[in-house]
Chain A
């Protein structure tokens, strides 16, 4: 029997990847320059592919098939953090979100490479290499634009201040922390958050961006338990539009 703890962990990673994958895909055709258009589109493809692999593991554990869980759940049944569902806004926010989120994901996946749940450990080892390109992309642009013109620094500074409360929501503590730790599945959100803060600080130190002190940032949580912003349901409606017209269509 698979524990609800394991399922919750898999759903939250898969849902984060699916939703941000969809948001990234919205940059296709709209990137501020062709290279960024391609980068966000490629990361979208990686993320949606990785979410499929995670939903496939869940399906093997007895959950509904991947297309059903991706296209037929309402917003309240999604476990993604609120950060990933927010509209793309301007490129500065999309870039900052990409940096804050993918830094956390890369550390989470690194931690899961030694998970006692073998299918997840195997997949994590695979995904780890792909994510290196994502974090490399984020770090390169944050360092470049975070020490560039006054406008780019100001824009990224506002994006950082706006995003941080949502970013802390990524680490909303799960009711299953103890169980996951005891079973050797995952060492927990607290340790992940600590490592993430260190990494974020390390990159931002190389820029002219100022990180507010952590105790002044109030986390915006709720996503992990299905309490989302008003932006998730319209995203899901759009994402499942074709599927809902003809669920049996092959394309």
Chain B
């Protein structure tokens, strides 16, 4: 079977973000380039946050999946040439986040004050009657909010 970038994207669907196991790396938008030379593959990727501790694990899982599908040599390059931002999460990815209970990031914008972060949409009841509790959360990419209708806390994938 001939290895093509399209095939590789299909295989990479099975590699999930270790911190958000419903979101594939492809939907997350961190795969920035794929090139194939016979049975050698070069993947270019970029982290969501520079200090993301899941990066090594992602690289390892990408390599495993590719080797399993018959790729003989895998080269993964991490760079900031095409920096990640939260608008790169696919529509499918945003829906997966919501089902997982994590509010998807709003459109990326240059915020200057808290106001724009104050009214995240609750992933459970869709109200924007919510409050920001902390711009830092359990992982670098999440913030903590409170839904005034559900009377429960929820997290949002940060807009970046």
A contact set with B: CB distance below 8 Å: 35, 38-39, 41-43, 45-50, 52-53, 119, 122-123, 125-127, 129-130, 132-133, 136-137, 140
Contact indicator A125/B49 (Cβ below 8 Å) = no
- Nearest B residue to A33, CB-CB: B134
Contact in complex: A127, B114 (CB < 8 Å):
no
Min CB distance, B140 to chain A, in Å? 6
Q: How far is the CB of A199 from chain B (nearest CB, A)?
A: 12
Q: Are B53 and A45 in contact (CB under 8 A)?
A: yes
Would you call B134 and A53 a contact (CB within 8 A)? no
Q: Judge whether B51 and A48 touch: CB under 8 Å.
A: yes
The answer to whether B136 touches A39 (Cβ under 8 A) is yes
In the complex where A42-B140, A130-B160 touch, is A136 in contact with B49 (Cβ < 8 A)?
Answer: no
Q: Which residues of B contact A140 (CB under 8 A)?
A: 114
Residue pairs across A and B with Cβ atoms less than 8 A apart, 6 shown, are A39-B135, A48-B51, A52-B50, A122-B80, A126-B84, A136-B135
Neighbour of B136 across the interface among A47, A53, A122, A133, CB < 8 A = A133
Question: Would you call B158 an interface residue if the criterion is a C-beta within 8 Å of the partner chain's C-beta atoms?
Answer: yes
**Which of chain B's residues have a CB closer than 8 A to the CB of A43?**
136
Give min CB distance, B56 to chain A, whole Å. Answer: 11
Which residues in B have some Cβ–Cβ distance to A below 8 Å?
46, 49-53, 79-81, 83-85, 110-111, 113-114, 133-138, 140, 144, 158, 160
Asked if A130 and B80 make an inter-chain contact with CB atoms under 8 angstroms apart, the answer reads no
Q: Which residues of A contact B80 (CB under 8 A)?
A: 53, 119, 122-123, 125-126
> Do B140 and A45 touch across chains, with their CB atoms under 8 A apart?
yes
Once bound together, how far apart are the Cα atoms of A45 and B13, in whole Å? 28
A46/B135 contact (C-beta < 8 A), A122-B83, A123-B80 known: no
Complex alpha-carbon distance, A28 and B113, angstroms: 26
B49 contacts A130, CB within 8 Å? Answer: yes
Q: Residues of B contacting A35 with CB < 8 Å?
A: 133-134, 136, 144
* Residues of the B chain whose Cβ atoms lie less than 8 Å from the Cβ of A41: 136
Does A129 contact B160, Cβ atoms closer than 8 Å?
Answer: yes
Tell me which residues across on chain A come within 8 A of B140, comparing CB atoms: 42, 45-46
**Residues of chain B contacted by A52 (CB below 8 angstroms):** 50-51
**Would you call B134 and A130 a contact (CB within 8 A)?**
no
Q: Residues of A contacting B52 with CB < 8 Å? A: 49
What is the minimal beta-carbon distance from A24 to any residue of chain B, in angstroms?
A: 11
In the complex formed, the residue of B with least CB distance to A41 is B136
How far, in Å, is B70 (CB) from chain A's closest CB? 29
- Cβ-defined contact, A49 with B113, below 8 A: no
A39, B143: Cα distance in complex, Å: 10
Known: A133-B135, A136-B111, A136-B135. A47 touches B51 (CB 8 A): yes
